[in-house]
Structure 1
């Protein structure tokens, strides 16, 4: 009769972890290792890594038939993070480690051939899954202990090698424990006072930050489009604890989690280059799809500078995340979902030659139209605010100094607090998240206030979606003005920011 043993690990599917029970059976046939349970190529190769690590750690490898089963059998398993669990399970079946020592214990980590324990991606979502499955103890590579410290309610241990783990399982020799979480220091972004002029664009940026709206800035080079975009992060509030943890999980899966500050409460700012690929923008890759810039900007800013230089297929791929707040990537192994609720900031030159002043443009009208025509109507319809940047005519002015970030941020936070209070019972945080039908029914404005929207719909200047988005902007403008609800003037101002001539 074959000797049996069980251990636990976690399989990642996107940012969702699933507890995996690993079973080892030794005996009953010719010597060999058989791994079943839908392993990918990296996991299939773990048989040789695990055997070498066990032997080089001073333990004997059973010279018998070994069957390793990963359950649920229908769930695809990927990566090298199962190595440690496989090794301990085989040694438990061989009688080296007692089965009781492995009960309710999750083992994560890749094994080097000499037995060293190497870090793997996605430790944070793996620990969240272990906690949800009520598996009380977890062993992770020591290098990932700062990341593991973010999850409470688990008995977490860190090890440098397989030998340390075996000594802990067999004789209780203590392993490393996670330290206290270092306080997150907010890094102050560049100040808004650095931007010269551009009152309309500054106002649009403030409205975008206050309501969570998407923004398009069009203007000649050197007018401050990138400067303004980089400064919107300083206007946004700190992330809620759940959002910060979700962002950390995405970064962990992508291998982008900073070791010195794993849990950041600052809104992310992601600015991919226009030559980026589809997989880098929305996520993807061979076999298991990895998160892209859209997900790394979750609850923050995705900035596309020179957006007209992006391929049309890249820009159109943003339409679904903009509406639904998530990215769905279909592969042969299944469909993975990554969060992707972000604010889109677009910046573009008015034409390919992009002179400092429009009077110097040498582009024919058809070329100018085609250039910004790469931003399709359906995409622009999802952009709430559009503003035209004007050439800077003087670096210093005789008027008052421009408002700094702290002053504008105070107004933004007040407006956000008003919106959060109003929508709290419905589960929405910002005006940009409120569905249009709600604004037109339960929170309907007087006919006198919405008459400009009706006029725009009647002459074809607005779509139904555009009217809903203008309503959301109007609510944000009223929050910034301290009003209880939008008036006709705020609705007209919202339509001013949607004027197609601004782009």
Structure 2
């Protein structure tokens, strides 16, 4: 006897459709799961056996073989439990599911038959939709997440016995034990007496009309299916949610108007947000570096529909989608890992690699506070993602690619003690030149080369909250960023990019042409500062963003000059040589 259900698993952050094939054959009672399962899947045989018996069904006393296809793909997790259980019940003739061929089944079974939610439901359901499936059966705890994918009927179940339908009687494990062997007249009589007996004709055309094979010969006689399974009573309807008042939300958000002074830093942050440029703030302790970067998400535009689905799928695959009832993630991610993080934690890793902090910050901000305190080997793994916007992790069996289109925002002190360049008599730098060089050397030159804005944040001089100048507010900065982003969206509508920071090659020369005067200025400074060609390109991209903020169609020498002012660490070596 053969039956087939459909389930799915995660492969990196992508969902992959898996066929769950069940075969019942005569022989010593045993259950074998094949198809490269991990330990959690192999243990599913025990979970499913207990759940089936404790829900009043009969577990086949035969040789049960379960194949997870394709067999050459490594599979992990407990999401196959429900498909295995339903496959055994339908193949043994106890249940019939006419829509099995179009239904994705996901869920972990407890020993009492209740279902527990699993991670990664969103990419699994999206893979099923692309494969032509129209319905998904899964735990109620995952229903809201699955409902985020349009065009899918979501059926939510709390317990395995709910599959019987409201019109079907339930059986206890004791009732099942009291029945005779499968196929005996006593069993059929008991089943008929317990409730309505469904014949093949009652099921709409008989067994031949079902979209999957069901054989009712269990090896001990013929058993007609007595339970016609219908899923409509499990149909999930998303509850109506009422969002919090926008005024209350705005009141809770931190605002740039709380930052006294630091007008040039706010300008730099506006430029960074307008073009999604990497930025590094350098200054003594307590000057507001961290405070200003943490307000950066407030001036970024919300995610588009496609970006929101992309980001939400990543969080779902990582098991970090906390409240699916709120819908897709609309705010850009802001990730701030501790400096003790490992390289695998930052870019992803594991036997079957999972996304790291870089991918969790996709389409948003990755904030590295006190950047030199991170291990240099950890920082170096950022070089390839910052350039290619993807993370590729290779294993013996396969290579996994995770998206990593992030804005890197970082902060650091100018030296080990933190007071280099301070004019305050109580805050004098005590570091030797060698120690300063050693401290800054924790960040490699190639990594600094990939940071577009390197901005000094001096000690603020405006301490009066009432008399000090607050300057730009978050709303004003957000408005400017939105205008610049709208210009970029229109300019790049035919290209696979959205931001100036993504320009490269021919498109960079076309849309960020500095003109003859600007080119002469850049070539002169290229030689004086010893800038690399990568820095040259990044200055052009930054100049294009500054021009967009100013509403200019062409890049002027003033835009290039301002962009050069934000390469502070490039200028530092030349200034130190002049002092010597």
- Where on the TM-score scale, by shorter chain, does this alignment land: which range? over 0.9
Counterpart in the other structure of 2:298: 234
Distance 1:19 1:501 in 2: 50
Give the deviation of 1:414 after TM superposition: 0.7
Counterpart in the other structure of 2:450: 382
Contact map agreement 1:16 1:125 (CA 8 A) in 2? yes
Counterpart in the other structure of 1:496: 565
Counterpart in the other structure of 2:127: 129
Give the SS at the match of 1:344.
strand
Counterpart in the other structure of 2:3: 5
The aligned runs of 1:366-377 (5 Å cut-off) are 366-377=434-445
1:409 paired with 2:474, answer no
Counterpart in the other structure of 1:471: 540
Contact map agreement 2:279 2:410 (CA 8 A) in 1? yes
The aligned runs of 1:392-471 (5 Å cut-off) are 392-396=460-464, 400-441=469-510, 444-459=513-528, 461-471=530-540
Residues 371-405 of structure 1 show CA distances to partners (whole Å, capped at 9, x for unaligned) of: 12111111111111110010122312856432111
Counterpart in the other structure of 2:341: 276
Question: How many equivalent pairs are there?
Answer: 500
Give the SS at the match of 1:424.
coil
Counterpart in the other structure of 2:81: 83
Counterpart in the other structure of 1:68: 66
Give the deviation of 1:442 after TM superposition: 6.4
Q: Higher Cα Rg: structure 1 or 2?
A: 2
Distance 1:99 1:69 in 2: 20
1:291 to 348, 351, 355: 355
Structure 2 gap ranges (5+): 167-226, 573-580
1:207 to 267, 271, 289: 271
The aligned runs of 1:35-50 (5 Å cut-off) are 35-50=33-48
Worse-superposed segment, 231-240 or 397-406: 397-406
Contact map agreement 2:81 2:106 (CA 8 A) in 1? yes
Distance 1:392 1:447 in 2: 39
Contact map agreement 1:22 1:86 (CA 8 A) in 2? yes
Counterpart in the other structure of 1:306: 370
Contact map agreement 1:149 1:181 (CA 8 A) in 2? no
Distance 2:42 2:468 in 1: 69
Give the deviation of 1:445 after TM superposition: 3.1
Contact map agreement 1:37 1:72 (CA 8 A) in 2? yes
The aligned runs of 1:214-233 (5 Å cut-off) are 214-233=278-297
RMSD: 2.0
Distance 1:150 1:208 in 2: 32
1:178 to 234, 237, 257: 237
Structure 1 length as normaliser, TM-score? 0.95
Counterpart in the other structure of 2:555: 486
Contact map agreement 1:282 1:294 (CA 8 A) in 2? yes
Worse-superposed segment, 106-115 or 332-341: 332-341
Distance 2:393 2:115 in 1: 31
